[in-house]
Structure 1
Amino acid sequence: MKELVGKWKLQHEKTDNFEDYLKAVGISFAFRKMGKAVVPVEEFKQDDDENWSLCISVSIAHTTLKFKFGEEFHETTMDGRKCKTTFTISDDGHLIQYQKSVHANIPDTRITRKKVDETTVTQIYEAVGTNVKSVRKFIRQEA
């Protein structure tokens, strides 16, 4: 996980199927258009031995998630969904963010962050229980 510490910016032209993913998780038309247009910057920080934070910023809003691996917490996503979120590390070393929806008719989301190389991370968004996935590419930003 330490290799993800730092700032990562979406390479907007390297996004695949994101609007379909947003639709699958119940996001309204207006929020889907806005979500597709913004360019998020994510910053991972290790606060101490156990505590981590993920700051997500777009031009109109920002949020900070504070977490410990394996511990569930309540999250309201930037698009307004309420969920119970858990961060874990997969057996192959990828960062998994699992968002369990609190609404029965909205699918859970699994976000897998995979470091491709020193400057690139891919994020795979999956609407759990559907065939809908989106892949987004993020590039490391200088401090």
Structure 2
Amino acid sequence: MVEKFVGTWRMVSSESFDDYMKAIGVGFAIRQVGNQTKPNLSVTVDDKGNDSLKTQSAFKTSEIKFKLNEPFDETTADDRKTKTVFSLENGKLVQKQSWDGKETRIEREITDDKLIAKCIMGDVVAVRTYVKEA
């Protein structure tokens, strides 16, 4: 049920994102930009059931096309080359990224009409909150 995530979402808050970027190995310069950026997130599903997650900011735009439970190669916004898989777990859209023996997960869920994205690397958890655009 990716459909409940469909729409354009505007970031309204970000907590501990610098700690998360450090934990996944992002360098200082890119973290500085990442901390200043408030991206929009667009989730779409086409008529063939292909899912897409697009992140747009003044700094960078990236788009991921995926099918649930089908691993694929992803180049992340911070240029990591990962093996990524999306799944639905207890109503959450979960994105798992693996690279160089490491793994991180991003859990997205809808709570009180907000999209909450928890970025998890070990014991580091960043929380980014989005509201739906009209």
- 1:109 to 2:107 alignment: no
Aligned-partner Cα distance in 2 for 1:2–1:131: 30
Could you tell me which runs of 5 or more consecutive residues in structure 2 were left unpaired when the two chains were aligned: none
Percent identity reads 34
Show the counterpart of 1:51: 50
Instruction: Provide the rounded CA distance (Å) in 2 between the counterparts of 1:66 and 1:42.
Output: 13
Shift of 1:60: 2.2
Per the normalisation by structure 1, the TM-score is 0.89
State yes or no: 1:132 paired with 2:132. no
**Runs of 4+ off more than 2 Å:** none
Distance, in Å, in 2 between the alignment partners of 1:134 and 1:27 is 14
Counterpart CA distance in 1 for 2:74 and 2:65 is 10
Amino acid at match of 1:5: V
- Partners of 1:63 and 1:42 in 2: how far apart? 10
Structure 1 residue runs of 5 or longer lacking an equivalent are none
Code of the aligned partner of 2:45: Q
SS at match of 1:79: coil
Kindly provide the CA deviation profile for residues 5-34 of structure 1, in whole angstroms up to 9, marking residues without a partner as x.
0001111xx211110000000000111111
Q: Which residue of 2 aligns with 1:123?
A: 117
User: For residue 5 of structure 1, what is the aligned residue in structure 2?
Assistant: 6
Q: Does 1:32 align with 2:31?
A: yes
Q: Counterpart in 2 of 1:84?
A: 83
Residues matched between the structures, number: 133
Q: How far, CA to CA, are the matches of 2:59 and 2:17 in structure 1? A: 19
Shift of 1:42: 0.8
- Determine the structure 2 residue equivalent to 1:60: 59
What's the RMSD between the two structures over aligned residues?
1.1
**CA–CA distance in 2 between the matches of 1:126 and 1:79?**
16
C-alpha distance in 2 between matches for 1:2 and 1:56: 17
Q: Secondary structure at the match of 2:98?
A: strand
Alignment partners' CA distance in 2, 1:60 and 1:34: 8
**Secondary structure of the structure 1 residue equivalent to 2:41:** strand
